[in-house]
Structure formats: structure tokens, C-alpha cells
Structure 1
């Protein structure tokens, strides 16, 4: 099948290996396979990825090349099914928006996937946050942690108010040593135990404030309800020794939740969530800095005028593929109505956040 707008990725898996893959959706060990792009085969390991999404009909995958591949600018990529997003563009739109405001975010692109000749449909290829991610951005090799579940709220307690089984609960270490784990634990303790008068001076020794505030603006504007307690990566820059936050998995945004249901534009307050954010915004200078950054973004970047071309381009790119996607071909009308839905959300969300800038005074 020939496509021009987005590349076709063909994956082939031997029947015995496919049987192993299917047998346990929660198993992270990759099975051998081939990825064929532009008639060029690449030896890969493939596994399922995600949390609750592993139970969906349309699975998401991690692709491991086992060594650096120049064609893919890395050793590993992720293929996200975007199963519950009727637009299929929210994740990419979010990362493009983050990049537009100066926040570090993964690169992404849509692809059309076939597995053993069977059409799987439209997927989003996501850049892995790893050592190559850092190299491409001229960042030093640094410890990397993925915040994979909602315990990653920078607190000593879970969001339900129970003591955490471990301060590392909610995190998966992608790169680094045991000492790096201990340092992250100390950082979380510091967030929770430093007294109010000393917090402002103490936190700037451990956290890249501007990076965090840009990330916070992105999460608040796009309204990723869960993005404050997971769905992010955190690195400790080896040169500055400051922690930096990177967004991750942003399909539940732009007016819809993780299940694809409508989330009203006022669902997330301008202050966001999580213990670290609350403590930062309790510091007058940092709160004022956040207000200045947010005000500029609401004026220039988070507007219908700025984002409409991005939405239109992504929607047009995918439009001819929806009828070919076995999981989406019955919801073409909904797909076609999504650009207007997203733009209405931006208009309402922008107005809501502008009204609440005064809360940051």
C-alpha cells in the first residue's frame, strides 16, 4: 500500500515470537522482529508499552534497535496507538506546543503501521528520552527517570494521602546509578521538609526554575490533568546539577481526558497540582516569574491564531488515512469535528487562564 503524506512502517514477527508477545501484554521483554521502512529491513526487539493502554485493542509498542540507528536518530523509538484520542493529534500537538514555548520536549511524527501484513493504522512515533535525546539537545549525559505512575507527585505521600512504599515509587530509572536514585530521594525529602522561609533560596540550588515553569505552563495550558503526578521525565543536568522536567504522553489534553471523554476547560487550575508546584508558587519571586511567563504565552503562543495552522496541518496530513485505520474508520465524522473542538477549547481555556492570572498576584 502506497502512502505519501506519512511513512509506512512494516513490522514482521515470526509466529512463535508473536505468540510470546501476545501471551503477556504486561511483559516488557522484547521479542525479535524486523521493521521495514522504504524497503530497508532493520533488526529490532519489540514489546508492548504503556500502562492501562496495554488492555486496548490497538496496542502501543516500544521498538529497540539495540544500537544507535542514524535513520531514526536513536537506539529506541515508541509507537503510540493514540487509541482513545479521536483526533489522533493531541500528543504531537502538545509536544509541538511545548517546543514552541521553549520547553524541552520529544520530537514526534505520525506513521502508518502494518504488522505481518495486517493494517494496524495510524501511530505516533515518539522519540525516546535517553542519552541520544540529551546529545541532540547538547545536554550532558545525565541521570534520567520516567514518572510512570501517579505516585510521582514530589510528595512523601501518595495522592490518596497514604505513605509511599518508597520515595522512588512512581519512577522508573532509565539512566544513572544507585547514587542518582538516592539523590532524587533527597530532593523529594528536601521539597517536603525545608521550612517556608528558606524554601526559595534552597530550591534554586537543585531545580532549574525556568525549565520547570515552562513545563508547568505547558501542562496547565494543554490541561493534562494527570501530567503533574506522572507522564513526565526528570533529569539531573550533570553540568548544572539542577533537575529538569520533560513532558511525556500528552494524548489526554486539549479538552479530553485519558478515556477520550470531554474535560471542561476549567478542570485544571492555573496553579496546577503536585507538592513541588505548590511550594514553588508559595515563593513570591517564583510565583511572579510564573505569572510573567504564563501571561506572555497566553498572549502569543496559546492562542487560536498561533495553534490553528498546527491543528489544520496535522488533521489534513492524517485525513486520507482514517478510513484505512481499522480502529478509527467508524469514527470519521468525529475525527473531522475535532479541529474545531480543539480550537474552541483553546479559546475558552485561554480566557479562563487570563481571568485567573490575578490568582498569581
Structure 2
């Protein structure tokens, strides 16, 4: 199988502008060719700490045409600190498999001004097109952009009361009324009595979907996933909120720097105020426990995951040798499928042993 080749041309003057200030958010114009289809795009670096890496990640917005493949923008992730390059893709697919909304993704090979830039993961943007492409009802979308997206009245950043309940979120799509609903939900999560919470939270949060997202974070062991690296979607028809994962390269046994993350690093109860309140209700806690048991049996095991890992490895292995940033690391890349499988086995055993804490 061949992965698509993306040919990007940026005028040398604009390349210099990008390189001069990696923290610049203003895009520059570029030409993108995919399968002989020529597209005019705006391009900028994406991410925070990843901008310092030699291999940059990019955010592309289409402007001629204004949409392409039913999208107005895409993200090209370098996956630079992940020695497998697979973890983000593997995570998004896993979330989808366990019944959670998740961005689509595919590997592409990028050329920049005629030179090989290497393997990238193209990630679907979570926006109104994300909803329409799945025939989901319209609704609001908020990005969790920092540690204040913790469903609490208290800030994770300065340990003080938040000045606004919208702190931690970037409004991506929706109406002013949706902003009010977000604030109302966060306030009620924190102020409902135990009985009120058990009876009323189901009018704000799709609890089943929330637990599927929580389970995905727990299995992949994304330590930042509880107060960051997610989007909120409020279904305008049901009025209920779902959580969508984002940026899952620091998973499957490696941290944000690609270093070993032990299988017992993250407790199965997770973190954040909403999770804590849900798990304080007996019937919700047992619902979550049953979900973990089911996923352990059906999805999070070596028999189920190994073929998926191997297929992705086989797909991109030939391109590693053409990636100027990865070709010298091919030996480590070759060891990663076994490393990830060993993590799945160890993490699965740890979670099984901890299930009693949810009784």
C-alpha cells in the first residue's frame, strides 16, 4: 500500500518568515498539490512545545477552493518525539473502536519545495465539518487549551478561583447561548448536591460517551488528557456534551519526550472534577467498571491490537528510510511494535488488578 504524497511549495521569502519566528501564528500563503490537484492554502506552524523541534508540524487552511474533501483545514503532525510515529493514529483509531467520537487520520509523505520533509500524520480538524461529515446534529465545539479546562471552579494554573468559567477553553464553533451552557454546566458540576448531581448530570453530559472517552484516556495512559488535549461537543438536539480526544502521541507507554512511561503511572480513576463526581455515584462507578471490563476483553489486548499495530508499521516502514529526520532512527522504530504490545499486556494486567477499587 502506498501513502499519499503531498507536495508543498512555500515562497523562499515566506519560508524565511516562518523560520525567523517559530512562535508566529500568522500564516503565509502556499501551494499544495495532492494527486495532481493544486490547492491554494494558508500555512502556519502548530502546537506549543513542538515548535522547537527540528521537524515542524503544520496547520493548513484551504482558501482556493475554500474546502477540500469536505474540510476547511487540516493538521499535519510530525510525531517527532514518538519513535514509532504510530501512537497518535493508534489512539484515534482505538477511541473510535470503543465508541468515542475521534478525528480521522492518515499518514502522508510531505515534500517541501521539492525536498523530502518526511512522514506526517494528517489529522482531521474538530469543527462544524467534523460534525456534518458524520451526519451529527449541529452543536457547539470548545477546545480545551490549558489546565483550566478541568471542569472545576478552581484554576489548575494559579490555584485560585477562576475569574471566568470559560477559562481553559477556546470557542471553536457555536453560538453565544452555547457559551452560557458551558458555564452553567461547569457551575452545576461543582455545586449540585450528591443527589442532585446523580439525577441532573444526565441532562448535561452523555455519561456513557464520557466514560468511553475516560476509558480511552486510561487505556492509552495520556496523563495530560483530563484537563487538556480534548474538545467538547454539545449536541444541539440532545443538549448533551461529549468529549473528543486530541494530541495523543504521548501514549502507549511513552511520555511527551518519548521516554518510558510505566504501565502503572496513571490510576484508573483518572483526574478532573467531573470524573471525580461521576465516580462518587455508585451506579455510575459500576457502569464505568463494567465498561473497562468489556474493553479489556474485546479491544485492549494483544490479540486485537497487534494486527493493527503491525499494519501501520508495515505501511510506513518503507518511508522511514526516506524521512530525513527519521532514517537514522530506523532501528528504534523497528522495536516499537513489540514495545507497544508489551505495554498493552502490562497495562491491561494493571487495570484488571485495580478494578476492585471501583466496587
Q: TM-score band, normalised by the shorter chain?
A: over 0.9
Question: Distance in 2 between the 1:142 and 1:61 partners?
Answer: 27
Q: Which residue of 2 aligns with 1:180?
A: 178
Q: Where does the alignment leave 5 or more consecutive residues of structure 2 unmatched?
A: none
- TM-score, normalised with respect to structure 2: 0.96
Bigger Cα displacement from structure 2, 264-273 vs 146-155: 146-155
Question: Distance in 1 between the 2:120 and 2:171 partners?
Answer: 26
The alpha carbon displacement at 1:68 in A equals 5.1
CA deviation profile, 1:219-261 (whole Å, cap 9, x unmatched): 1001011011110010111000111110111101000011111
Q: Which residue of 2 aligns with 1:296?
A: 294
2:32 pairs, out of 22, 30, 35, with 35
CA deviation profile, 1:286-309 (whole Å, cap 9, x unmatched): 111111111100011000000000
Q: Which residue of 1 aligns with 2:56?
A: 59
Question: Distance in 2 between the 1:281 and 1:340 partners?
Answer: 34
Q: Which residue of 1 aligns with 2:261?
A: 263
SS in 2 for 1:271: coil
Q: Which residue of 1 aligns with 2:144?
A: 147
Give the count of matched residue pairs. 357
Question: Distance in 2 between the 1:357 and 1:42 partners?
Answer: 51
Q: Which residue of 1 aligns with 2:285?
A: 287
Q: Which residue of 2 aligns with 1:123?
A: 120
SS in 2 for 1:233: strand
- TM-score, normalised with respect to structure 1: 0.96
Q: Which residue of 1 aligns with 2:6?
A: 9
CA deviation profile, 1:180-217 (whole Å, cap 9, x unmatched): 22221221111111122221112111001111010011
Question: Distance in 2 between the 1:190 and 1:114 partners?
Answer: 50
Q: Establish whether residue 81 from structure 1 lines up as the match of residue 71 from structure 2.
A: no
SS in 1 for 2:224: coil
Q: Which residue of 2 aligns with 1:47?
A: 44
Question: Distance in 2 between the 1:119 and 1:219 partners?
Answer: 34
Question: Distance in 2 between the 1:141 and 1:15 partners?
Answer: 41
CA deviation profile, 1:46-75 (whole Å, cap 9, x unmatched): 1111121111111111111135534x3311
1:221 pairs, out of 194, 219, 222, with 219
Q: Which residue of 2 aligns with 1:246?
A: 244
Q: Establish whether residue 23 from structure 1 lines up as the match of residue 20 from structure 2.
A: yes
What CA RMSD, in Å, does the superposition of the two structures yield over aligned residues? Answer: 1.4
Question: Distance in 1 between the 2:29 and 2:16 partners?
Answer: 12
Q: Where does the alignment leave 5 or more consecutive residues of structure 1 unmatched?
A: none
Question: Distance in 2 between the 1:22 and 1:191 partners?
Answer: 44
Question: Distance in 1 between the 2:110 and 2:164 partners?
Answer: 39
1:349 pairs, out of 323, 330, 347, with 347
SS in 1 for 2:333: helix
Q: Which residue of 2 aligns with 1:163?
A: 161
CA deviation profile, 1:2-26 (whole Å, cap 9, x unmatched): xx62111111011222233233322
Q: Which residue of 1 aligns with 2:202?
A: 204
Q: Establish whether residue 234 from structure 1 lines up as the match of residue 197 from structure 2.
A: no
Q: Which residue of 1 aligns with 2:331?
A: 333
Q: Which residue of 2 aligns with 1:274?
A: 272
